Structure 1
């Protein structure tokens, strides 16, 4: 299964793929770009996949001046309507620094991303009448998965934000009747503090240490949406979350259960280890891949966790601890305790 098989047809993809092919792009080539969120990078992703090329976007930090002179306008080439990719071809190369600070190029195949796109439509309970607002950069896994892949598989519409502004986001949510958002809690804290908090959202999926029960309760009351926690990474996108039929309390107090065919276990020091069809196939640097995997093929996330009857709760990073009196104290746990106080919205230790 390749991505063209699961994403709804978009007639704009064929001419973009033709343009890339006319410029010499072939199966296995790496195509990189840096630009703000819009339909353009979405079409570049899909054109690369049709050609069997590897999309390798770079995070967009800011706008640059437009070119002052166009020397030659190259022809578009013939539209490409049939794909050249195979299921196990690498589809994307996404860059992440992780907690180590060392840059890593994460590789995902067509098979893994196609599987994940279809799965998350069902897990989130999404349908063709949903609309997602995507402020996260498209060069990141969240922007790719929830702005390109899941909407393409449902299919439903994505509204792009090139840069985050809370009041503008609140206006766009209401004007576009946005129903679904995914992102860190900072986005939703900003929306709750907007001059006019939006009310059309029905589902908010958020991950990170700041997604406390207090945050979930406040976001539910202020934004009128079902709010739940989720957990994943660039290497292992959306491994755990809760579904529409799960208890609200579990969605607020845990990071959910493994979705689809994903499996989790605890390794030494309670490090969460995961495996499943959505896992990356490795880093571009084989030595980084070897360091991240166990001998029996599980991905070492670097996150500490607890598992209770299948429900996973991330308790912090292996390295994010404070040592006092010989005891290891999780920074995330301290922040969580502080955020239970009604006068505290967010805590950082």
Structure 2
């Protein structure tokens, strides 16, 4: 198997007198199509029998939708949505895990000009108050709410305002409509709407995770999504001759899978296998069963998922051989990857295939499409997020000793629904989107070697001594040092003489015999390795209660919102600052 083809980028780099750096990939990415739906139409004409989407059915067999069938379903269902009075101002709210009906509904909306918004399942299934769900409904004012299972989502549906039209694939509530019974009229109205689509029309809404505030509804226009896919195809040149086959669990309510991976597969004539597993002890076996059936060419996971997969590969050489047999790329995101895992995955790939399989990551945001920076060179260590895609200008602005990243691109969102102030604030005075992240060059003398994530600008603070604390990097190092004993941490110390930390233990850890002695040893070695006040955390408190979704302490993706934790736990904050040096538990 030959090595996959990637871009060979060239860059224009300008350095201003104030230290600002502008870096632009030369040229523009070739245009694939005006809309994602148009690309599906292309494959429906050229490869109608190729499988576009697949999911295991109740019997365990794969249920498949081929491109020709998908195209027809999109057109008929799109006409049905229009017949119900839906349109740009009356979108569809989707309450569902990834599923075939979910996919067809979202794509029918894109075809007919009816925006959809897939809401995180956490807002429906994990929340007690359903406040975020109700907020989303009030903001979107949907003309239709789709729930995959009316029983599973029953509590969420009961929390909705009266009078909303509801459709469910199974177990529709009284007054609701079965998805199979949605009207499927002739396609003329949908075809006309498709022909009239304009690039600035809304294709979908995606809600941000809310790790630094309340979730916002990010406007995704047709042009924004399509131009982002141009960048993806330009970067991953192998997609043109090796249509991607994926086995993917990541939720479509988030931009990484719901935009980049989902649209990448369909734009390039690939096959998307919906993985109902997850990187958890209870559900990882579903993922392993799917990977025994389907050898992916492109694979995405979070580091915790790769850790589980690597253990499975070591125990089952046949599974490892199947997984790597035609793999072009492994991508990770969502958290930093430890060196031992990085080395283990690369060694396993070489052992099984006799070649390198690129293990990589990138950087982007819901507001950027998300594809923005990507690393396509094999690295000796994890963390390099790569270089800006073709069509993007990266602006690096000096900010308290760091380089703040800002982006200008045709795939930047026009703003947030119903939030003109927030939409205006997301751009600087030159029209660059303020990503909120700092980047550190891999080689300050050669920026084409890529960049490392250097923390969130908004998280950083000063101690009372005036010393800046790089919170993101420090928190990552702290969590890594505790070796899986803590899930996450909140770093404290703004305007105080010394740092402290609140720790969320990993599930079940505090029930282990002798755990405090182990935690005390980890704490002591962390403090001993400190080089100064900006990374010496002499006081730590292990919290009793996990972070609360309804209080905003944790996002639906599992990220900690430090400001909400501090706001809701003043006693814990006071206690850890007043305590003697050491580690204690609530």
Q: Distance in 2 between matches of 1:100 and 1:185?
A: 22
Given that 2:302 and 2:335 are in contact with CA atoms closer than 8 Å, whether structure 1 keeps it comes out as: no
Indicate the residue corresponding to 2:405 in structure 1: 272
1:114-149: CA deviation from partner (whole Å, max 9, x where unpaired) = 121232134233354431122111121112224421
Check the 8 A contact 1:106/1:234 in 2, yes or no.
Answer: yes
2:218 partner SS:
strand
Asked if structure 2 preserves the Cα contact closer than 8 Å seen for 1:214 and 1:339, the reply is no
Residues 271 and 209 of structure 1: is their aligned pair in 2 closer, same or farther, counting only changes over 3 Å? Answer: farther
Q: What is the aligned partner in structure 2 of residue 98 from structure 1?
A: 210
Question: Which residue in the other structure is 2:333 paired with?
Answer: 207
Report what 1:292 is aligned to. Answer: 426
Task: Please say which structure displays the higher CA radius of gyration.
Answer: 2
Q: Which residue of 2 aligns with 1:13?
A: 74
Is the contact made by 1:230 and 1:255 (CA closer than 8 Å) also made in structure 2? Answer: yes
Cα distance in 2 for partners of 1:287, 1:205 equals: 35
| 1:216 is aligned to 2:216 | no
TM-score by structure 1 length? 0.87
Change (3 A) 1:71 1:109: closer
- Rounded Cα–Cα distance in structure 1 between residues aligned with 2:472 and 2:346: 22
Matching of residues 85-164 of structure 1 within 5 Å: 85-124=197-236, 125-126=238-239, 127-164=241-278
Partner deviation per Cα, 1:24-74 (whole Å, 9 max, x = no partner):
223553221111101222211211111112222212244651226677745
Give the conservation status (yes or no) of the 8 Å contact 1:304–1:318. Answer: yes
Deviations 1:73-132 (A, max 9, x none): 453222334513111212111111433221211012111211212321342333544311
1:81 & 1:312 partners in 2: Cα distance?
45
Matches of residues 1-349 of structure 1 in structure 2 within 5 Å? Answer: 1-7=34-40, 8-9=43-44, 10-61=71-122, 62=125, 64-65=150-151, 66-67=171-172, 73=181, 75-79=183-187, 80-81=190-191, 83=194, 84-124=196-236, 125-126=238-239, 127-164=241-278, 165-194=283-312, 196=316, 198-199=320-321, 200-201=323-324, 202=327, 203-222=329-348, 225-236=357-368, 237-243=370-376, 246=377, 248-249=378-379, 252-269=382-399, 270-284=403-417, 285-307=419-441, 308=444, 309-310=447-448, 311-321=450-460, 326-334=466-474, 344=483, 348-349=488-489
1:2·1:110 contact (CA, 8 Å) conserved in 2? yes
Q: After alignment, is 147-156 or 22-31 more displaced?
A: 22-31
| Aligned-CA RMSD value | 2.9
In structure 1, C-alpha distance between the alignment counterparts of 2:251 and 2:361, rounded to whole Å: 20
Contact 1:241-1:251 at 8 Å conserved across structures: no
Structure 1 residues without counterparts, runs of 5 or longer = none
The DSSP-based 3-state class of the residue aligned with 2:468 is strand
Q: How does the TM-score come out when normalised to structure 2?
A: 0.54
